Amino acid sequence: MKDGKVRLKTPILVTGGAGFIGSAVVWELNRAGTNDVVVCDVLDRTEKWKNLVSLRFRDYIEAADLAAQIEQDSSWIKRFGTVLHLGACSSTTETDSAYLMRNNFGFTKMLAEAAVKFGIRFVYASSAATYGSLEDGLSDTRELDALRPLNMYAYSKQLFDTYAQRTALSDRILGLKYFNVYGPNEGHKGDMRSVVSKAFDSIRSKGCVQLFKSYRKEFPDGGQLRDFIYVKDAVRMTVMLAADPSAMRLVNVGSGNASTWLELANAVFTALDIEPCIEFIDMPEALQPKYQYRTQAVIDRARSFGAVPQFTLEDGIADYVRRYLACKQLLDPAIAEPKLENKVRNQQPSGVVKASLV
Residues identified as active-site: 153, 189
| Contact call for residues 301 and 252 (beta carbons, < 8 A) | yes
Q: Could you tell me which residues come within 8 angstroms of residue 20 by beta carbon, excluding any fewer than 6 positions away?
A: 51, 90, 181, 183, 185, 186, 188, 189, 231
Q: What is the bridge-based pairing of β-strands 225-226 and 259-260?
A: antiparallel
Is residue 95 packed enough to be buried (19+ CB in 10 Å), middle (13-18) or exposed (0-12)? exposed
DSSP state letters, 121-164: EEEEEEEGGGGTT--S-EETTS-GGG---SSHHHHHHHHHHHHH
Task: Work out the number of other CB atoms within 10 angstroms of the CB of residue 47.
Answer: 11
Cα–Cα distance for residue pair 312/322, rounded to 1 Å: 15
Cα–Cα distance for residue pair 106/333, rounded to 1 Å: 33
Cα–Cα distance for residue pair 11/252, rounded to 1 Å: 26
* Angle formed by the axes of helices 231-242 and 313-320, nearest 10°: 110
Phi, psi (5° rounding) for residue 119?
70, 35
Cα–Cα distance for residue pair 96/35, rounded to 1 Å: 36
